[in-house]
Each structure stands twice: as C-alpha cells, then as structure tokens.
Structure 1
Amino acid sequence: MPADLDAALRNPVPDTLNGRLREFGTVRGRAARFAPDVSPFGGMPLHPEDGDWADLAALCGPGEPVVLVRAGDGPPALPIGWRLERAFPGVQMDGSAAPGEPDDDAIELGPADRAEMADLTARTEPGPWLARTAELGRFLGIRHDGRLVAMAGERMRLGGTGGAGATEISAVCTDPLFRGKGLAGRLVRAVIAGIVARGERPLLHASAVNTGAIRLYRQMGFEVSREMRFDLLRTPDGG
C-alpha cells in the first residue's frame, strides 16, 4: 500500500475534504469538518496541537457536536472545555480481496429516491444519515413490490485515483422484514464492483463490538486492518 494512502486511511476526514469531496465540507489549518447536513464527522492530525483543536472548534461553532474520526485504540485527550459525550471504538476493514459482483436487481438510487432512503435508514440505523449524505457517492438499492427494502453506497473517498485511491462503503441496511435473504451482501458486492471498476480499493468501518457484522464482512473477503475511533465530542461553549 502506498504510504500516502496508508496515512489517509488512518486519518480519513482531512484527506477526503482536502481531496475528492472537498465541496462537502470546510478546512481550516489542519482541521476539517463535513458540512453539518452531510455528515457529523470531523478530523485533524492524529497528534493534534492546541491550534488544531482551536481550528476544529472554529469550524464547528461553540457547544456543537462533532464525531472525531481517527485511527487509535482509545478516546483522545481533550483540551479544557471540550467534552467527550460518547466513546465509540471501531475497526477499519480492507476489502482488497473481497470479490465484487454486479447485481441485476440492484438499481442506482437518485434524487427521486431520497425520501425512501431517509425512511429506510431512520428505521434501520446503519450509521449517520443526514439530508445530503446521499450526495457523497453512488448508492444502490433493491426494491420489492416497488418499495425500497435494502441499500448500500459510498461515503468517504480517500487518496488519488488510478489504483491509488480508496472508497468507503457505508449505509448498508435492510428492512427488518427482508433480513436473512442476503440482500445486504449482494448490494455490498455490487458496490465493490463499481469501486474496483474505477481502479480503487474498497473499505468499510464497523463498530468494534459488532462481532456479527465483522464476521459477516470477513466471510465476504474483508480483513480488519486497524482500530479506529468515532468519538462523539462537543466543542467548548462560547464565551
């Protein structure tokens, strides 16, 4: 793996917002934050200095939540005024060896599907889903009797292109009435096929305690590559 891609994978938010998805957030110094209606994620160097914390606070505003994304095995040491509201350990999984496969039943979702996408994610809670999350990448779905019952898509896009980049698979969810039919796995493989066709590496994140999901993704060919953190913080109050 190229060293620059490895660094991006350890610290994905600044790389994404300084690169291919720059229009979806803001950057100040070495800190970066997605637009609040796109994603709650923010980032800064793995070993931040006081100025980096100040820049992230300025991007978010006083007393506002932000999910700090970074490689690591424990919550960050916070400066005075910052609060840790939820410590969330995760894992990053590399899909370089995961076979992709197009699916004839998978349809590409667009603006006309946004209301159903929001409804499905609200009922299944696959992770943060906000008003503009669907704009981040390509999303595929499966319908049953015209109703959207399963979905998977793309979120952060890291590094360069032409084989040097990586794309995160996200929003993998299935209507509870249709679970156990392999729909999510089919959609993940279809999303992988699109990522690989662009010459990129698929990856995904999972909760470190969600052993069932990790086991399923391992069966699909993913491997745990590193520990990650998705810690919910609150910036210092104004004044």
Structure 2
Amino acid sequence: MTSDAAALDHPVAQSLLGQHAELARRCGRAATYLPGVATFCAVPAEPDATDWADLARLLGSGGFADMFSGPALPPSDWEPVFELEGRQMLWPGREAGAPRAAADAAVLELGPEDVPDMLDLVARAAPGPFWPRTCELGTYLGIRVQGRLVAMAGERLRPPGWTEISTVCTAPEARGQGHAGRVVLALVERILARGERPFLHVAEANTGAIALYERLGFESRKPVTFRGFRTP
C-alpha cells in the first residue's frame, strides 16, 4: 500500500477540492456537487458547528446530505436517512495492467447523447445513485447488444492520484455473460494509462460484486460506512 492512499480516507472532499472543483458548490469549508451531478457532500475531517451550518445553508431546509464514507457525524437535529456498511477496494498497483481489455472492441465510450439509455439501464439494474449529469464526473463505458445498452461502468470520485470506478451494472436479461468485468477492465486500463490507480466502493452485502472485483484483481483496503442525512 502506497502512502498516497491517505487521499482515499476523504475521497469526496479531495475530489471537490481538486479534479471536480468546477462541479462543486461551496460555502465556507463545506462543499457539495452541483445539482444533477451527485449528492455527495464534504466537510473538514474535524468539522465544527460553523461547517455544519454552512453545509445546511448549501443544501437548504430539508436538503439531503449524502456524506458518503466520511466519518464525521452531523448535529443531532439532522435526520438520519440511511446507513450502509461497505468496503473500499483498490487496484494493486500501477504496474498491474489490464491486457484483456485492450482489444475489446465491444466496449464503447458513452457520451451525452447516451444519457437517456444510461438512465434507463440504471433504473433496471439499480447500481446506486446516477443522475442526468453524473457522466460529467469522468469517462463512462458501455456495451450494447443489438443497439440496446446492456452494461456500463464509469469514473466517479477523483482524489489526487486515484480514480473511482462506479455505476457498474448489467441489465437483468444480460447478466452472467461477463459484461461487467469487461467494462471494468477497460476502465482500469484507461486509468492506469494516465498514471493513476483505480479504486471502488461496494456494499458489504453485495457479495457477488465483491467476488467479481476480487477475480478481476482488486484488493480490499478497509471497511467503510455510507451515511445520509436530512438537514433541519
């Protein structure tokens, strides 16, 4: 494990301050993504009352604060919305490439014109949060069968030196054919080619996905807890 993995302890904050600064809204030391991009929020590692007040101001009364894997808990008058146990997984190193992805002509890059199909696939496959502008976070790749999008994955959080792979999903009628692994490996190759390392997050209960990522070469780094709240 390299020392720069410390950036992964606060991936949302690191992304909003760096690669995704142009997609951020800020108030004081609190930040969140623009509407339609993502709901993830960030405050400093040791926030004070002013930081939480600034985040509440950003989100508005009754706003949704998706704190992702941040360990800090908001004031007691913030209503809990969800709590989910998960894990963070890493590609083992920059030197470990993904040669099987290099010649996979079936994997296509998706663009703005594909967003309706991407939203349709997300609705059918339920991989997690994906909004109309989420694809602005990075590159999204997919596989079409007879013109219909049946699998995809994309780049999400971008802490320094790292890129998160997310929205890995396959349509119910196309599962069991290796599509998810193909798009993930294609993303791994692209990320490594620009000198960064892939990582991802997965729900602990999703044992099938964990097994897939381990087969592809990802290794577990640490357990995480995903939390969401609603502002007063």
TM-score, normalization: structure 1? 0.89
Match of 2:129 in 1: 128
Q: Is the 8 A contact 2:70 2:226 kept in 1?
A: no
Q: Distance in 2 between matches of 1:52 and 1:6?
A: 25
Q: Distance in 2 between matches of 1:77 and 1:23?
A: 26
Task: Provide the secondary structure at the position in 1 that maps to 2:74.
Answer: coil
Match of 2:171 in 1: 175
Superposition map of 1:154-233 within 5 A: 154-159=155-160, 165-233=161-229
1:161-195 Cα distance to aligned partner (Å, 9 max, x none): xxxx1000011111111100000001100010000
Amino acid at match of 2:140: F
Q: What's the Cα RMSD here?
A: 1.6
1:98-147 Cα distance to aligned partner (Å, 9 max, x none): 64222211111111111101100111111101110011111111111111
29-38 or 181-190, larger mean C-alpha shift: 29-38
* Cα displacement (A) at 1:196: 0.4
* Cα displacement (A) at 1:214: 1.1
Q: Distance in 1 between matches of 2:83 and 2:109?
A: 35
Q: Is the 8 A contact 1:155 1:169 kept in 2?
A: yes
The runs of at least 4 aligned residues of structure 1 exceeding 4 Å deviation read none
1:8-43 Cα distance to aligned partner (Å, 9 max, x none): 211111111110111112123332211121111111
Question: Among 91, 94, 117, which residue is 1:95 paired with?
Answer: 91
Match of 2:110 in 1: 109
Q: Is the 8 A contact 1:17 1:34 kept in 2?
A: yes
**Number of matched residues?**
227
Match of 1:70 in 2: 69
Q: Distance in 1 between matches of 2:46 and 2:154?
A: 31
Identical aligned residues as a percent: 47
Task: Provide the secondary structure at the position in 2 that maps to 1:158.
Answer: coil
Q: Distance in 1 between matches of 2:220 and 2:35?
A: 29
* Cα displacement (A) at 1:2: 5.7
Match of 1:162 in 2: none
Alignment gaps of 5+ in structure 1: 160-164
* Cα displacement (A) at 1:71: 5.0
TM-score, normalization: structure 2? 0.92
Q: Is the 8 A contact 2:42 2:70 kept in 1?
A: no
1:54 paired with 2:53, answer: yes
Q: Is the 8 A contact 1:141 1:149 kept in 2?
A: yes
Q: Distance in 2 between matches of 1:168 and 1:134?
A: 13
Alignment gaps of 5+ in structure 2: none
* Cα displacement (A) at 1:215: 1.7
99-108 or 183-192, larger mean C-alpha shift: 99-108
Q: Distance in 1 between matches of 2:223 and 2:51?
A: 22
Task: Provide the secondary structure at the position in 1 that maps to 2:158.
Answer: strand
179-188 or 51-60, larger mean C-alpha shift: 51-60
Amino acid at match of 1:214: I
Amino acid at match of 2:199: L
